[in-house]
């Protein structure tokens, strides 16, 4: 009696084990079905995390809360200052898309000037952000910079897209704003409007590292 019971039990247990195994996903299927982390703004083009989307242009801007004092840290690539990705990861404007480039950033007449926050707002934000980054130099030498520039569809006043950019190394104190990022932004804007690169590709490249954005896109 005991032997027959053991035989039946073994068969039942084996069946349950096989049933459980057949319903569990294999390692390869789990990887295949996992969501990709390489999606970017506008459907995803190449590797890179998704960029946040801000609220876009506003009729009235208010001073945005900045990261705690001393919590952000500049990085340097070949001597050039870069933002802290944890504090300034970038943010794009929902008002600018690949479809409407001709009526937004690529139109004649100055898109950026019409959506730029007033200095009464950005001046206060700049002071607070300088404390966030621990910037001690002359405020007139630092630019309160849009990581993704307005001419590349960056959000106008999202705290994630603005940082106090110090001047280039060797810059004489008190000499005013001086940096190499602005020409990079202009060249990217020209390439986007000429159809050489997509808006998303340009945004992702400058967020990844503005010093290599042009070479990354073959525009160096």
The pLDDT, as a whole number, for residue 191 is 98
Q: Is the dihedral of CA 143, 144, 147, 148 positive or negative?
A: negative
Calculate the alpha carbon distances from 176 to 114, 140, 165 in Å.
24, 5, 12
Q: Which residue ranges make up each domain of the chain?
A: 2-33, 52-216
Express as a percent the part of the chain with pLDDT over 90. 68
pLDDT digits (tens, 9 = 90+) for 56-70: 999 999 999 999 999
Q: Which helix (H) or strand (E) holds 163?
A: strand 162-165
More confident residue, 110 or 38: 110
Which value, in Å, is the radius of gyration of the alpha carbons in the chain? Answer: 25
Of 26-30, 55-59, 118-122, which range is least confident?
26-30
Residue count of the chain = 220
Q: What is the mean pLDDT of the chain?
A: 81
The pLDDT, as a whole number, for residue 107 is 94
């Amino acid at each position: 009696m005991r032997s027959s019971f053991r035989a039946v039990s073994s068969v039942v247990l084996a069946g349950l084990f096989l049933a459980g195994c057949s319903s569990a996903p294999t390692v390869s299927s789990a990887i295949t079905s996992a969501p990709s982390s390489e999606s970017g703004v506008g459907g995803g083009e190449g590797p890179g995390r998704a960029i946040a989307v801000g609220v876009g242009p506003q009729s009235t801007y208010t001073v945005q809360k900045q990261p705690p004092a001393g919590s952000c840290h500049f990085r340097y690539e070949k001597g050039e200052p870069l933002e802290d990705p944890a504090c300034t990861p970038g943010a794009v404007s929902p008002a600018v898309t690949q479809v409407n480039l001709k009526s937004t950033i690529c139109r004649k007449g100055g898109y950026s000037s019409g959506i730029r926050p007033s200095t009464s707002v950005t001046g206060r934000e700049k002071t607070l952000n300088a404390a966030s980054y621990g910037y001690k130099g002359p405020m007139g030498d630092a630019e309160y910079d849009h990581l993704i520039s307005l001419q590349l569809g960056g959000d106008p006043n999202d705290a994630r897209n603005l940082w106090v950019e110090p001047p280039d190394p060797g810059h004489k104190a008190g000499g005013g704003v001086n940096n190499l990022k602005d020409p990079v932004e202009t060249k990217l804007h020209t390439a986007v409007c000429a159809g050489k690169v997509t808006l998303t590709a340009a945004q992702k490249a400058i967020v990844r590292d503005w010093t290599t954005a042009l070479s990354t896109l073959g525009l160096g």
